[in-house]
Chain A
Amino acid sequence: MSSVQPYVPNKDFIYRAADALADSHLQQALAKAGRGFVDKRSAAVTRVPNFEAMRDRARAVRQKALQDLDIYLLHFEKKVTEAGGQVHWAETPAQMREIVLQLCARHSATRVTKGKSMVGEEVYLNEALEKAGITPFETDLGEYILQLAKEPPSHIVAPALHKTRAQIQDLFLHHHALGERDLSAVEAIVDEARQVIRDRFLRADIGITGANLLIAETGTVAIATNEGNGDLTATLPRAHIVTTTIDRVVPTWEDASAILRVLARSATGQQTTTYTSFFTGARGDTDKDGPEAFHVVLLDNRRSQLLGSEYQEMLHCIRCGACMNHCPVYQAVGGHTYDSVYPGPMGAVLTPLLRHRDGDYQLPNASTFCGRCESVCPVKIPLPDLMRKLRNREQQEARFKGAGYWITKVFCALAASPRLYRALTSIGTKLAAALGARRGRFSKLPLLGGWTAHRDFPAPQGGSFQSQWRRNGKAQPPVGACPAGD
Chain B
Amino acid sequence: MNTALPGTPLHVGLFATCPVDLLRPSVGFATAKLLEQAGCRVSVPPQSCCGQVAFNNGDPDATRKLAWRIVKDFEPFDYIVLPSGSCSGMIRLHYPALFRDDPRFDRVNRFCSKVYELTTFLAEVIDYRPAAPNCNLAQRNITYHDSCAGLRELNIRDQPRQLLKQCAGVDVTEMRDTEACCGFGGTFCVKFPAVSNRMVADKVDNARDAGADLLLGGDLSCLLNIAGKIQRQQNESPQLSKVQVRHVAEVLAGDLDAPAIGEGAEAQIPHE
Residues in chain A within 8 A of chain B (CB atoms) = 13-14, 17-18, 21, 328-329, 332-333, 365-372, 374-375, 388, 391-396, 404-405, 408-409, 411-412, 414-419, 421-422, 425, 428-429, 436-441, 443, 448-451, 453-461, 463-466, 468-470, 474-478, 481-485
The complex places the Cα of A218 from the Cα of B152 at a distance, in Å, of: 40
Q: B219: shortest Cβ distance to chain A, in Å?
A: 12
Q: List 14 A-B contacts (CB under 8 A).
A: A21-B198, A368-B199, A370-B148, A371-B152, A412-B62, A437-B265, A456-B262, A458-B24, A458-B262, A460-B22, A468-B25, A469-B29, A477-B257, A482-B259
Extra pairs beyond A436-B264, A450-B191, A465-B21 (15, CB < 8 Å): A366-B188, A368-B148, A368-B199, A392-B58, A408-B54, A412-B66, A440-B262, A441-B262, A455-B197, A456-B235, A464-B22, A470-B44, A478-B25, A481-B258, A484-B268
B134 contacts partner chain A, Cβ-Cβ < 8 Å: no
Q: Decide if B229 touches A469 in the complex (CB within 8 Å).
A: no
A332, A374, A396, A429: the one within 8 Å of B199 (CB): A332
Q: A453-B193, A459-B264, A476-B29 are in contact. Are A405 and B228 (CB under 8 A)?
A: no
Within the complex, what minimum Cβ distance (angstroms) separates A141 from chain B?
29
A residues in contact with B27, CB < 8 Å: 465
In contact, B23 and A460 (Cβ under 8 angstroms): yes
CB distance from B197 to the nearest CB of A (A): 4
Q: Are A14 and B194 in contact (CB under 8 A)?
A: yes
* A328 and B59 contact, CB distance less than 8 A: no
Tell me if A458 and B23 are in contact (CB < 8 A): yes
Q: Are A17's CB and B192's CB within 8 A? A: yes
Contact partner of A408 (CB less than 8 A), chosen from B59, B179, B200, B255, is: B59
Task: Please tell me if B217 contacts chain A, counting CB pairs below 8 Å.
Answer: no
Contact flag A395-B185 (CB < 8 Å), given A371-B153, A438-B264? no
Q: Verify if B57 is at the interface (C-beta below 8 Å from A).
A: yes
Q: A-contacting residues of B (Cβ < 8 Å)?
A: 16, 20-29, 32-33, 36, 42, 44-49, 51, 53-60, 62, 65-66, 69, 73, 148-149, 152-153, 179-181, 183-200, 224-225, 227-229, 231-232, 235, 255, 257-259, 261-268
Question: How far, in whole Å, are A440 and B228 apart by their CA atoms in the complex?
Answer: 10
Chain A residues closer than 8 Å to B192, beta-carbon distance: 13-14, 17, 329, 365-366, 450
- The B contact surface, by secondary structure, is helix
Chain A residues lying within 8 Å of B54, measured Cβ to Cβ, are 408, 412
Q: Which of A371, A391, A455 contacts B58, CB < 8 Å?
A: A391
The answer to whether A393 and B58 touch across the interface, beta carbons within 8 angstroms, is yes
State whether A412 touches B148 (Cβ < 8 A).
no
B227: chain A residues within 8 A (beta carbon): 456, 458
Would you call B229 and A454 a contact (CB within 8 A)?
A: yes
B43 to chain A, nearest CB (A): 9
Which of A14, A372, A412 is within 8 Å of B65, CB to CB?
A: A412
**Choice from B25, B185, B265 contacting A481 with Cβ under 8 Å:** B25
Chain A residue contacts of B48, Cβ below 8 A: 414-418, 421-422
Contact of B180 among A14, A328, A409 (CB under 8 A): A328
- Return the 5 tightest CB-CB contacts between A and B, nearest first: A368-B185, A440-B264, A450-B190, A455-B228, A458-B262
Q: Which residue of A lies closest to B188 (CB)?
A: A368
B21→A458 contact, CB < 8 A: no
Chain B proximity of A432: nearest CB distance (Å): 9
- Enumerate chain B residues within 8 angstroms of A464, measured Cβ to Cβ: 21-22, 25
Residues of B within 8 A of A372 (CB): 148, 152, 179-181
B-side contacts of A394, CB under 8 Å: 58
**Within the assembled complex, what's the spacing in Å between the Cα atoms of A14 and B198?**
13
**A448 and B228 alpha carbons, distance in the complex (Å):** 13
| Chain A residue at smallest Cβ distance from B53 | A408
In the complex, A440→B73 CA distance in Å?
34
Contact with B191, one of A404, A457, A468 (Cβ below 8 angstroms): A404
Contact A21 B195 (CB under 8 A): yes
| Residues in A neighbouring B24, C-beta threshold 8 A | 458, 460-461
Please state if B56 and A439 are interface contacts (CB–CB under 8 Å).
no
Docked complex Cα distance between A81 and B209 (Å): 61
Q: Decide if A425 touches B22 in the complex (CB within 8 Å).
A: yes
Indicate which residue in A405, A425, A438 contacts B57 across the interface (CB closer than 8 Å): A405
Report B-chain residues with C-beta under 8 Å of the C-beta of A485: 257-258
B16, B23, B25, B51 — which one has the most chain A CB atoms within 10 A of its CB? B25
Query: What's the Cα separation between A20 and B23 when bound, in Å?
Result: 34
Query: A450-B193, A460-B23, A481-B26 are known contacts. Are A411 and B232 too (CB-CB below 8 A)?
Result: no
Contact B59 A395 (CB under 8 A): yes
Whether A395 and B57, one on each chain, are in contact in the complex, defined by CB atoms closer than 8 angstroms, is yes
List residues of chain A with CB within 8 A of the CB of B231. 441, 455-456, 458
* CB-based contact B257/A418 at 8 Å: no
- Tell me, in angstroms, the Cα distance from A14 to B190 when the chains sit together: 11
Q: Give Cα distance in the complex from A451 to B152, angstroms.
A: 25
> Nearest Cβ distance between residue B227 and chain A, in whole angstroms?
6
Q: Quick one: closest A residue to B265, CB to CB?
A: A484
**Distance (whole angstroms) from the CB of A331 to the closest CB of chain B:** 8
CB distance from A293 to the nearest CB of B (A): 48
Complex: how many Å from CA A279 to CA B197? 48
Residue of A13, A332, A391, A411 near B198 (CB, 8 A) is A332
Who on chain A is nearest to B220 by CB?
Answer: A458
Contact (A440, B265) CB under 8 Å given A370-B181, A451-B193, A455-B197:
yes
Q: Are A404 and B57 in contact (CB under 8 A)?
A: yes
Whole-angstrom CA separation of A463 from B24 in the bound complex = 9
- Complex: how many Å from CA A371 to CA B26? 29
Docked CA distance A445–B244 (Å): 22
Question: Closest chain A residue to B60 by CB distance?
Answer: A392
Q: Nearest chain-B residue to A433 (Cβ)?
A: B23
In whole Å, how far is A56's beta carbon from the nearest beta carbon of chain B?
A: 17
- Contact partners of A484 in chain B: CB under 8 A: 258-259, 264-265, 268
Asked whether A21 and B62 contact (CB < 8 A) given A436-B264, A478-B25, A484-B268, the answer is no
List B contacts of A328 (CB < 8 A). 180-181, 183, 199
Q: Which of A388, A425, A428, A469 contacts B55 (CB 8 A)?
A: A388
Across the interface, A448 reaches (CB within 8 A) one of B25, B149, B190, namely B190
CA A460 – CA B193 in complex, angstroms?
22
CB pair A461–B265 under 8 Å, yes or no, is no
